[in-house]
């Protein structure tokens, strides 16, 4: 469960000027719900996920995760409830470490112990989990992550994000940097993991089609505010064309090209 | 001569372990070592000789481990100071290291009792033990070498084990991608603090052993040790390439012995090319440049 109450985030532009990125934003996402977040660049989508995860400070407002007020928690403390994948495949993994060491890091949340991290039993279990990804990673357990392709690396990051059974998954355009074939695979994995691990998921995407397909609820953001919140029958009626029309109505003439919205 | 190179190589190899941990594992360019190494030398020398002079038989018998532990602990304290300054003030690692190193110059003088030099000529339990190690089965110089091998092997084994534990893996990831560590629910600053402490405790121990080997502790012992430690690490990386931590640790010791051999060669036969002991620092600097350049060429191929 994620509850955001009147969150304000603004950046100092210098000279006493401030740019408000999130403007008294509130949002509640129920346990097990998948939400797509769409909106143009600068709408505050990434800032929203960053403020949930604690990567940036809030000016005002409260963040609740699983019923707990985590507003004052540091990012590493909130991570206990969260799995996160960003757009950059480099962001979530330690590139100069092996696949299995990365998995050992992600396998559990919280302080580490003086205990061998990758005993044979753990390696066998990971081999099995990697084989399930279908990306040929099971034979590359002892290779450095930097040698993997972008798609493999992002699939691994996704596995690392869910392997410790967090309750909430935050995805920030995690397939946008991948080629279409790999994006398709990682998207399918995402859907599978959300079901398998029973996750509450917030997914930022630029792909309207995907936004509708993957989630039971679609949120549209503009200039730091939620301007449309579609779920239930309202969302079921929605198709890509109607969503684009809605989008254009808000954005005005700035967004003239349909194809920009449909990538 | 060979024993001398090997012994020096192993003693300074322990220092290089520390440089390896900060520069390579934590990706934290730490200059504190210029303070923690002489601090370890001072504390090791003072504590070992004080214990040795004690009339209490137990304390007297514990002089060597106490001296080594004192060096290790004092080095760790220096590392803690750097980590605290770095995390609290959010200043660059280099500046944090310089601050501690500068402060420890005075602290080291205090440890040495206000004098810049502390001789161990008649009262050097660590060297005495090392020379008679194995009950005189070996000539004293080789006994010294064997004792250094033992210390280095134990440290190598412990470090290798450590970097296979959950904490060790997390430390390695911290230097690689802090974000990945945060995502694992680990407090990154606390972990880095432990790492920087380890990266200075090892040079502290190395300092305690170096003081015993030379027969004195000196407040200026730390000058240039970061550069020579770095040259050692790079030399090792140049000759042995590996992604396995065990090999990476072992090659630090090999690099250290090689570095000492090169320096010995420069001292002994350098006069042919007009090299004097004054030029050794320049050679160290050139060696670092050469190591980096060669590793680039190697990577391109």
Asked if B242 reaches chain A (Cβ–Cβ under 8 Å), the answer is no
B180 vs A contacts (CB less than 8 Å):
92-94, 102, 105-106, 160
pLDDT tens-digit readout, A200-238: 999 999 888 899 999 999 999 999 999 999 999 888 888
Distance from CA of B198 to the nearest CA of A (A): 15
Q: CA-CA distance, A231 to B176, in Å (whole number)?
A: 41
Closest by CA position to B128, among listed B202, B185, B61: B61
Percent share of chain A, pLDDT over 70: 95
Tokens of B243: 């992604």
> Within a domain: residue A140?
no
- Tabulate helix, strand, coil % of chain B (nearest 5): 80, 0, 15
pLDDT at A161: 97
Nearest to B173 among A75, A84, A105 (CB): A105
B176 vs A contacts (CB less than 8 Å):
94-97
The number of helices, as runs of H, and strands, as runs of E, in chain A is: 10, 10
Nearest to B186 among A84, A96, A111 (CB): A111
pLDDT at B296: 82
pLDDT above 80 for A254: no
Tally the domains of chain A: 1
Count CA atoms within 13 Å of residue A20 on its CB side. Answer: 12
pLDDT at A235: 87
List chain B domain ranges. Answer: 2-219
pLDDT above 50 for A148: yes
What ipTM, to 2 d.p.? 0.92
pLDDT at A262: 47
Write out the E strands in B192-259.
216-218
pLDDT at B276: 83
**Per-residue pLDDT for chain B (301 aa), expressed as one digit of tens each?**
788 999 999 999 999 999 999 999 999 999 999 999 999 999 999 999 999 999 999 999 999 999 999 999 999 999 999 999 999 999 999 999 999 999 999 999 999 999 999 999 889 999 999 998 887 788 888 999 999 999 999 999 999 999 999 999 999 999 999 999 999 999 999 999 999 999 999 999 999 999 999 999 999 999 999 999 999 999 999 999 998 999 999 999 999 999 999 999 988 888 888 888 888 889 888 988 888 888 788 766 5
Q: Which residues of B138-152 are buried (b: 16+ CB within 10 A; e: fewer)?
A: beeebbbbebbeebb
Coil, helix or strand at residue A18 = strand
Closest by CA position to A26, among listed A208, A203, A168, A229: A229
Distance of CA B182 to the CA centre of its chain: 29
Confirm if B176 and B10 have CB atoms less than 8 A apart. Answer: no
Contacts of B254 (CB under 8 A, 6+ apart): B236, B239, B240
> Within a domain: residue A150?
no
Domain that holds residue A200: 2-95+165-262
pLDDT at B271: 82
**Chain B interface, best mutation among A95, A117, A165, by max B CB count within 10 A:** A117
Q: Say yes or no for a CB contact (<8 Å) between A108 and B188.
A: no
pLDDT at B273: 82
Nearest to A79 among B167, B172, B185 (CB): B185
CB atoms within 10 A of CB B239: 12
CA-only gyration radius of chain A, Å: 19
Average pLDDT over residues A103-125: 96
> In chain B, what is the straight-line distance between the N-terminal and C-terminal CA atoms, in Å?
38
**Chain A interface, best mutation among B160, B164, B169, B194, by max A CB count within 10 A:** B169
Tokens of B282: 């320049």
Asked if A104 reaches chain B (Cβ–Cβ under 8 Å), the answer is yes
Point out which residues pair with A2 in neighbouring strands: A29, A65
Distance of CA B30 to the CA centre of its chain: 12
Residue with tokens 């000759």: B239
**Chain B interface, best mutation among A55, A99, A101, A161, by max B CB count within 10 A:** A101
Please write down the long-range contacts of B273-282, taking CB distance under 8 Å and 24 or more positions apart.
B281/B224, B281/B227
Asked if B116 reaches chain A (Cβ–Cβ under 8 Å), the answer is no
Asked if B241 reaches chain A (Cβ–Cβ under 8 Å), the answer is no
CATH number where A74 lies: 3.40.50.300
pLDDT at A225: 92
Task: List, in sequence order, the alpha helices (H) in chain A.
Answer: 45-53, 75-78, 99-106, 120-133, 150-162, 180-196, 208-214, 232-237, 240-251, 258-262
Pairing of strands A82-85, A217-222: unpaired
Closest by CA position to B243, among listed A176, A99, A206, A230: A99
Coil, helix or strand at residue B38 = helix
Q: CA-CA distance, B133 to B32, in Å (whole number)?
A: 33
pLDDT at B278: 85
Q: Say yes or no for a CB contact (<8 Å) between B184 and A109.
A: yes
Tokens of B269: 């036969």
Tokens of A179: 């080629």
Confirm if B71 and B205 have CB atoms less than 8 A apart. Answer: yes
Average pLDDT over residues A123-129: 97
Angle, alpha carbons A210-A212-A217 (nearest 5°) = 130
Asked if B182 reaches chain A (Cβ–Cβ under 8 Å), the answer is yes
Q: CA-CA distance, B142 to B132, in Å (whole number)?
A: 10
């Amino acid at each position: 469960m994620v509850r955001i109450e009147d969150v304000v985030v603004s950046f100092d532009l210098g000279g006493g000027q401030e740019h408000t990125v999130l403007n008294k934003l509130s949002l509640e996402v129920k346990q097990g719900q998948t939400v797509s977040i769409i909106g143009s660049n600068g709408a505050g989508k990434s800032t929203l996920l960053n403020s949930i995860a604690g990567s940036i400070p809030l000016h005002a407002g409260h963040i609740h995760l699983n019923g707990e007020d985590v507003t004052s928690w540091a990012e590493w403390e909130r991570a206990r409830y969260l799995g996160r994948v960003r757009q950059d495949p480099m962001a979530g993994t330690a590139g100069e470490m092996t696949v299995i060491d990365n998995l050992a890091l992600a396998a559990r949340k919280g302080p580490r112990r003086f205990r061998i991290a990758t005993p044979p039993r753990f390696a066998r279990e990971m081999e099995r989990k990697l084989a399930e990804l279908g990306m040929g990673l099971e034979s590359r357990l002892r290779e450095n992550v930097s040698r993997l392709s972008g798609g493999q690396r992002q699939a691994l990051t996704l596995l690392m994000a869910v392997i410790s059974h967090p309750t909430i998954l935050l995805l920030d355009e995690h397939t946008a940097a991948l080629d279409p074939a790999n994006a398709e695979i990682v998207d399918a994995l995402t859907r599978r993991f959300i079901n398998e691990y029973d996750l509450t998921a917030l997914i930022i995407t630029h792909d309207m089609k995907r936004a509708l397909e993957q989630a039971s609820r679609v949120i549209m953001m503009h200039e730091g505010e939620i301007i449309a919140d579609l779920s239930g029958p309202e969302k079921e009626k929605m198709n890509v064309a109607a969503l684009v029309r809605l989008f254009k109505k808000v954005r005005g003439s700035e967004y003239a090209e349909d194809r920009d919205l449909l990538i | 001569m060979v024993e001398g190179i090997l012994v020096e190589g192993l003693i300074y190899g322990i220092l290089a372990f520390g440089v390896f941990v900060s520069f390579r594992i934590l990706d934290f360019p730490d200059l504190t070592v210029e303070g923690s190494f002489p601090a370890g030398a001072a504390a090791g020398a003072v504590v070992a000789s004080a214990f040795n002079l004690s009339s209490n038989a137990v304390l007297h018998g514990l002089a060597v481990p106490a001296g080594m532990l004192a060096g290790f602990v004092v080095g760790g304290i220096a590392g803690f100071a750097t980590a605290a300054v770095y995390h609290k003030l959010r200043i660059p690692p280099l500046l944090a290291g310089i601050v501690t190193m500068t402060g420890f110059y005075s602290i080291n003088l205090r440890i040495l009792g206000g004098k810049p030099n502390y001789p161990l000529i008649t009262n050097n339990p660590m060297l005495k033990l090392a020379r008679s190690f194995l009950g005189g089965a070996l000539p004293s110089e080789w006994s010294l070498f064997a004792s250094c091998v033992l210390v280095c092997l134990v440290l190598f084994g412990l470090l290798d084990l450590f970097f296979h534990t959950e904490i060790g893996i997390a430390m390695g990831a911290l230097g690689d991608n802090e974000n990945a560590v945060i995502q694992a629910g680990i407090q990154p600053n606390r972990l880095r603090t432990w790492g920087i402490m380890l990266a200075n405790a090892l040079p502290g121990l190395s300092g305690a052993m170096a003081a015993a080997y030379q027969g004195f502790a000196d407040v200026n012992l730390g000058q240039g040790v970061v550069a020579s430690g770095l040259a050692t690490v790079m030399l090792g990386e140049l000759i042995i390439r590996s992604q396995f931590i065990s090999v990476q640790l072992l090659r630090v010791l090999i690099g250290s012995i090689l570095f000492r051999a090169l320096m010995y060669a420069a001292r002994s036969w350098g006069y042919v090319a007009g090299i004097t002991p004054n030029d050794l620092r320049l050679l160290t600097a050139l060696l670092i440049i050469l190591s980096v350049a060669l590793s680039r060429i190697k990577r391109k191929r």
